[in-house]
Amino acid sequence: MLEKVAIRGAPRAKINGYGLAVRLEQLKLQLQIMLQISTMLYSWVWRHSQNQR
């Protein structure tokens, strides 16, 4: 919350840099979520194939 308040009085270049950092953080989060989902799917498929034997 403090960072957002500081941004209002910050120069334009700082805002752009901050936006980039936020976007990178969001990308990292999305990648982590995608990894979790894919590993869950993979383990489920693997278990399913093990059960069929």
**Domain that residue 6 falls in:** 2-52
The Cα–Cα gap between 50 and 14 comes to 54
Least reliable range by pLDDT among 6-15, 18-27, 42-51: 6-15
The Cα–Cα gap between 18 and 23 comes to 9
Q: What percent of the chain has pLDDT over 70?
A: 70
Q: Are 14 and 22 in contact (CB under 8 A)?
A: no
Look at residue 18 in the predicted model and tell me its pLDDT.
78
Question: Which amino acid is present at 14?
Answer: K
Q: Are 22 and 4 in contact (CB under 8 A)?
A: no
Q: Are 20 and 12 in contact (CB under 8 A)?
A: no
| Overall domain count for the chain | 1
